[in-house]
Amino acid sequence: MNIVVGVTGGIAAYKTVTIVRLLTKAGHDVTVVPTDDALRFVGLPTWEAISRNAVTTSVHDDVARVRHVALGQNADLIIVAPATANTIAAMAAGLASDLLGTTLLATEAPVVIAPAMHAEMWRHPATQANIATLRSRGVHIVGPDDGELAGGDSGPGRMSEPEHIVEQALAVRAEPDLQGLRVAVSAGGTREPIDPVRYLGNRSSGKQGTALAVAAAERGADVVLVAANIDAATLHDATAHPKIRIVTSGTAAELGEAMGAAAADAHVVIMAAAVADYRPAEVSTRKITKEGGETPVITLVQNPDIVAGLAERRSEGTAPRGQTIVAFAAETPQTPEEMIERARRKRERKNVDLLVVNEVGWSKGFETTDNAAHIIGDAGAVVGTVDGTKREVADAVWNAVVRYRRGQQAGSHDQHPDAADTTATTRQPGGSGAPRQLRRHRWRG
């Protein structure tokens, strides 16, 4: 893609160097358009070196090629990071006082901005009104985050992290290859009550499952996200997305019921939630105390396997024909081979189409922003390996689902009536035509 990165005069400009680096590394052609003020923070040679393209702030350079409008006309995507209060006001007013201003006025490409300023300036009604104006024109706003600001203050106004901005910006251009699909995703970890104040739980944060739901919605699917004990900050992007309906659940039984309902008309079911295998046989109606003097013994009973139950419904014909079912497995193996072997057996046992396996441990997999996983498909083949952010893992899983469904439909004339047009390629619009996954995620196999 041709991407223009506008940089304006804020201290966060140093983080934009990473944004440009990530975009060029992913194979995009990046032109940086700094304002004069931005160059006081990071100099022109840095932008040229990192983008490998000529950089100017002036509308009077390269006039023969009408650079002041050509950049905007040729762009597939424009990112402005950091976007200062001043630039946001200029954009809202439609000012064309420099090369960035003319580029923004001359473009029909999606525009993504990452505001960065002091909390007071962000909260000011003028800035909020300008943001509302930009939003109403379709500009995508990423952040700002809450956190430490220049000068030691803190509050909302900190520019989002480069990886997040890149992820969000590229998602704006993502092809809607899941358009027309209804999907059900479970996320988080169940809690099985022992008494009114205690439970048996697990360390799943819900980040991976939420990333799957958001990725699906951004790729066009209608999503039901069954969320078990996920905090509001993790759910934030899902809550804001119009194509995602969130159903909250607490226990395995509640999650099973919610997933059963959501799966009843879903084309794709993904069970990313960490479901308790066991629950206390009895739940005390009163808090268990030490007063009796005896150490309590908690007897456990096994919970039904929800995903295996959904697969059974499909086999019995009581779920939509052609439904694709994906399970997750978190393993603590001694060797990578053992992990894959366990995953293969689990996929067979649960009778699911794809099984995503990742290694977990005290510092791996849970609560982190990154993840590494293998995707096991037909006949136990490793159909993908991905190592990246949870969003990248999510996109890799959806790519595997798209490929799997395409394979199913090619091999069968007995397809689900709704399933047509749901397995389009994952090419990037405006791009070179190379499969997105091959470029962005280190796929092997």
Residues known to be catalytic: 202
Give the residue with the Cβ less far from ligand C5P, 12 or 263: 263
Judged by CB under 6 A, the residue of 76, 98, 305, 395 near ligand C5P is: 305
Distance CA 337, CA 339 (A): 5
Give the nearest distance from C-beta 238 to ligand C5P in angstroms. Answer: 18
Give the nearest distance from C-beta 311 to ligand C5P in angstroms. Answer: 10
Distance CA 397, CA 383 (A): 10
Give the residue with the Cβ less far from ligand C5P, 62 or 257: 257
Instruction: Dump the DSSP string for 363-432.
Output: TBSSS-SEEEEEEE-GGG-EEEEEEEEHHHHHHHHHHHHHHHHHHHHHT-S---GGGTT-----BPTTS-
3-state secondary structure of 45: helix
Candidates 351, 344, 265; CA nearest to 312 is 351
3-state secondary structure of 286: coil
Give the residue with the Cβ less far from ligand C5P, 23 or 319: 319
378 secondary structure, DSSP code:
G
Give the residue with the Cβ less far from ligand C5P, 350 or 440: 350
- My answer on whether omega of the bond before 82 falls inside 30° of 0, hence cis, is yes
Interface characters, 213-252, with ligand C5P (x: CB under 6 A) = ---------------------------------------x
Strand partners for 183: 223, 268
Residues binding ligand C5P: number (CB under 6 A): 13
User: Where in 101-160 is the site for ligand C5P (CB under 6 A)?
Assistant: none
Judged by CB under 6 A, the residue of 41, 122, 199, 328 near ligand C5P is: 328
Judged by CB under 6 A, the residue of 20, 23, 166, 307 near ligand C5P is: 307
Give the residue with the Cβ less far from ligand C5P, 111 or 228: 228
Judged by CB under 6 A, the residue of 55, 224, 325, 327 near ligand C5P is: 327
Would you count residue 303 as binding ligand C5P (CB under 6 A)?
Answer: yes
Judged by CB under 6 A, the residue of 244, 275, 354, 393 near ligand C5P is: 275
Candidates 49, 55, 1; CA nearest to 27 is 1
Judged by CB under 6 A, the residue of 215, 329, 343, 383 near ligand C5P is: 329
Give the residue with the Cβ less far from ligand C5P, 238 or 325: 325
Distance CA 306, CA 187 (A): 13
Give percent helix, percent strand, percent coil of the chain, each to the nearest 5.
Answer: 40, 25, 35
Region of 191 on the Ramachandran plot (φ > 0 left; ψ -120 to 50 alpha; else beta): beta
Judged by CB under 6 A, the residue of 37, 175, 277, 387 near ligand C5P is: 277
Give the nearest distance from C-beta 398 to ligand C5P in angstroms. Answer: 16
Give the nearest distance from C-beta 307 to ligand C5P in angstroms. Answer: 4
138 secondary structure, DSSP code:
T
Helix or strand holding residue 141 (H, E): strand 140-141
Candidates 27, 1, 123, 44; CA nearest to 429 is 1
The sign one gets for the Cα dihedral 327, 164, 161, 224 is negative
Would you count residue 306 as binding ligand C5P (CB under 6 A)?
Answer: yes
Would you count residue 357 as binding ligand C5P (CB under 6 A)?
Answer: no
Q: Contact residues for ligand C5P (CB under 6 A)?
A: 252, 271, 273, 275, 277, 303, 305-307, 327-329, 346
